[in-house]
Amino acid sequence: MKHFILLLAACLSLAIQPTFSQGNFTLEVTPSILSVTRGQTASFDVSMGQILGFSDPVTLSVSGNPAGTVAAFEANPVSPIATTRMTIGNTEAAVAGEYPLHVVAVAPTSTHTVDVILNIATPTGGFQDFFLDVQTPEASVCAPNDVHFDIRVGSIMGFSDPVTLSAQGNPPGTTVGFSQNPVVPPGTSQMTIGNTGAAVAGYYNIGVVAVAPTSTRFATPTLNLFDSTPGLSALLDPADGSVGVSPLPDLSWSGDSNAAAYAVELARDPIFSNVVYTSVAIGTTHHPKIALSPLTTYFWRVTGLSPCGVGTPSFAFSFETGEQSCQFDGQEIPDADPNGVDSVLQVSGTGLILDLQVNIVATHSYVGDLVFTLTHQDTGTSVVLIDRPGFPTSPFGCERNDIDVILDDAAMVAVEDLCDATGAAIHGTAIPEQPLQVFEGEEISGTWVLSAYDRSSQDVGSVVEWCLLPTVGLPPNLNCPLSVEVSNDPGLCGADVSLLIPANGIPSPTIEYLVEGSPIANPHFFPIGDNTVEVLATNQLGSATCVLEVRVEDTEAPAAICRDATIELNEMGTANILPASLDFGSTDNCGIAAIGISRSEFSCEDLGPQEVVLSLTDTSGLVGMCTATFIVVDTIPPTVEFPLLDPIQANQSGMAPIPSLTGLVSATDNCTPPINLVFSQNPVAGTMVGVGTSEIIVFATHESGNTGDQSTILMVLKPPTPTPSQTLTATPSTSPTESPTTTETPTMTSTPGKVCEFDIFPPGGDGRIDSKDLLEILKSDPSPETLAEFSGCWLVQ
């Protein structure tokens, strides 16, 4: 099974060529120095990098391992884009000490070598014991597959007591089992972690415990558990479109928890049909193992890898490398001369230094004698690049030949620690003696001097070539427009505005927007009106500011909503309305400043439907209108008045016709002139009524159909007694002897419809009442009780 190694060692050793014109590969072995105790398996990570589409298989070998040990590669041969593991096992058979290991990678057209150091120590104690060696220190698996760890229990000085194995820290839900338990040293067992589908993906340190009657040993292998293919990674640096990037760029991207490693690709075209470099990176940064061509555009992307599969490639970024300034004067280094030799390089390109690497190619038969310094004469800045590698750890420093190194502050091994036996003794990428960071921020142009010194005699050499590999930049530059004008968002008193103010600079500046000194999000909600925004562009070389106005215009008129209604005229024949009478929930995004209507007064001339316009003006002066229909109505009836009626006298049959009263009444109305009123009465004229009082109602109807009424009382008197032609004498029937008495009856005449001027004596002769007063009483209270009170025979005089 292929494992993806996630632990990145602190050091590395690899061979680097500044450029390649044809397909090739790179070789990397980590760590460069590894220490183990006898009985433990030594494990190194071996990585290949593909250059210019190289695809031939690479065969790996190692020499220099201690006698009795066993060297093995997890995969061999390997593709030129692969990561495999090299192990040195059976170390209990080795003599304690330091062992240089020579790793060789051979392809049909190219061979690369890397030297690493293996230190083997003797366990402390000096008595019978055992050691615990997990030969698979790290394993990766995709759930729900099982994962296996090979365990070796070794014997020290003939130790043979049984050793019981157990484990803890395995993912919750998983199971742990051992193929052999207990183990009698020397012996092996395989630990299996199963049921991984029940566990949560992640990284787990498994605590393996080995217990014997006299001692206990511990080991902690790592389980990397994955449950899905990696997602899409986001590239970070160099930013898309960057220019002036170093030919040895540092690449970085965002990580994905489902990725165990990443395939890194560099190409000359955006569709990656011309890939010039491919490698597998552990972690989220990578330093390509080749020097890219200067002033060239490259495209790069990464793809997550895991035991569950290959993820989706990231969106590609592009960058352009900066100018590479080199000197090839081949200056000889004088032997044991304190003045050394200066190689001068004139740089015409401009830009501020963001990062700087220096490539030195020199021949010399004893590199431990050499010192190199770099000086920027225009600024006076100077650093020591190489100072007698290996000295004073060794009395004379590294005794081997030649230098072909790229000095980079971001490298993982110090130049002081390099002294390889094959190829150039100082090669690859290394940290300089003093940091090159001191040049950052300086202008790249000007005079640069590489000074080489030989501090000891008998060995000679020359500076073949040296190059400055700068990443140059420019401070930010902004060009703000005077204003940005937008309309309000629908329904809002403002707008969300995305500001895209272009800023130039290398590296690409970070843009920040501020209102009243406080940073704002982008997009930001700006209210109606003018808003002052400060734009701040910043990169590591400086900052720039500008000011603009974000003008948000209110273009949304009020939404006027009207309602129809009915309005009634008052007693004066007029009516008034307010704007609220029309408004039915009108709104505006910023608020209504004024409200008006086309008319507010109505009169009798406006009876019927009338259109009224509602006008709304908002704070920006925008007007919204709607029209309502008002029905003007007159609901007030006419007022009817008429005088008191004279009593009328019934005919001999005791009946009298009701006279017509419409000509006697008067009426008024708020809208209709009296002449246009229509009168009627009930009962109608001519209706016969008997002696007594009768209620008569007179109606007045105006043009709108409303009717007013008034009631009155008509008194009908008894018919008159016929006038006698002679005096009659009535003779009582009770006494035949009495003489008859003659009674004279007065004559009463009355004209209907005329008020009589005579007194009426009520029955019993208790008092008298004027006829007008009687009519008023009956008119105001024509109740049966009142009528009963005044009923009977009346004496009229």
Domains by residue range for the chain, with CATH: 13-121 (2.60.40.10), 129-226 (2.60.40.10), 235-321 (2.60.40.10), 325-472 (2.60.120.260), 479-553 (2.60.40.10), 565-633 (2.60.40), 641-721+747-797 (no CATH)
- Looking at the chain, the whole-number percentage of residues with pLDDT higher than 70 is 87
pLDDT class for 727, splitting at 50, 70, 90? very low
Element (H, E) at 771: helix 771-780
pLDDT of residue 792: 52
Task: State the Cα–Cα distance between residues 294 and 51, nearest whole angstrom.
Answer: 17
pLDDT at 752 over 50: no
Beta strands in 706-796 (DSSP E): 707-717, 729-730, 741-742, 759-761, 769-770, 795-796
pLDDT of residue 115: 85
pLDDT at 731 over 80: no
pLDDT of residue 546: 93
Average pLDDT score over residue span 22-40: 82
Which residues lie closer than 8 Å to 534 by C-beta, 6 or more apart?
513, 514, 515, 517, 545, 546, 547
CA distances from 692 to 54, 123, 664, 716, 786 (A): 137, 147, 21, 5, 12
pLDDT of residue 788: 60
pLDDT at 379 over 70: yes
Residue whose tokens read 């004379």: 396
- Looking at the chain, the whole-number percentage of residues with pLDDT higher than 90 is 54
pLDDT at 248 over 90: no
- Of 716 and 740, more confident: 716
pLDDT at 15 over 60: no
pLDDT of residue 772: 61
- Taking the chain, what is the end-to-end CA distance rounded to the nearest angstrom? 146
CA atoms within 13 A on the CB side of 516: 2
pLDDT of residue 743: 38
pLDDT digits (tens, 9 = 90+) for 181-207: 999 999 999 999 999 999 999 999 999
pLDDT at 350 over 90: no
pLDDT at 781 over 60: yes
pLDDT class for 751, splitting at 50, 70, 90? very low
pTM score over 0.85: no
Tokens of 207: 């605590």
Which residues lie closer than 8 Å to 163 by C-beta, 6 or more apart?
130, 132, 153, 182, 183, 184, 185, 210, 211, 212
Q: Sign of the CA dihedral 67, 73, 79, 84?
A: negative
Exposed / middle / buried, residue 754 (Cβ in 10 Å: 0-12, 13-18, 19+): exposed
Average pLDDT score over residue span 223-229: 94
pLDDT at 318 over 90: yes
pLDDT at 626 over 90: yes
Task: State the Cα–Cα distance between residues 278 and 281, nearest whole angstrom.
Answer: 10
Most confident of 50-64, 106-120, 523-537, 630-644: 523-537
Least confident piece of the model among 122-126, 231-235, 422-426, 595-599? 122-126
Average model confidence (pLDDT) for the chain? 85
Which residues lie closer than 8 Å to 279 by C-beta, 6 or more apart?
26, 47, 48, 49, 50, 81, 263, 264, 286, 288, 289
pLDDT at 251 over 90: yes
Least confident piece of the model among 243-247, 485-489, 609-613? 243-247
pLDDT of residue 225: 95
Tokens of 478: 């902004």
Three-state DSSP class for residue 661: coil
Rg, Å, the chain Cα set: 59
